[in-house]
Amino acid sequence: MAVQFRCSDVGVACRHVTRAETPEALVAAVAEHAKARHGVTLNDTLVDYAVTKVRPARE
Ligand SMILES: [Zn+2]
Mean pLDDT over 10-26 rounds to 95
- Sign of CA pseudo-dihedral 21, 8, 45, 43: positive
pLDDT bucket at 59, cuts 50 / 70 / 90? low
Q: Which residues share a beta bridge with 1?
A: none
Q: How much distance in Å is there from the Cα of 29 to the middle of ligand 1?
A: 11
At residue 27, does pLDDT exceed 80?
yes
Mean pLDDT to the nearest integer, 25-45: 96
Average pLDDT, the chain: 94
Distance 5 CA to ligand 1 centre (A): 10
Instruction: Tell me, in angstroms, the distance from the centre of ligand 1 to residue 1's CA.
Output: 22
Q: How far is the CA of 35 from the centre of ligand 1 (A)?
A: 9
Mean pLDDT of 7-14: 94
Helix 44-51 and helix 23-38: axis angle, to 10°?
A: 120
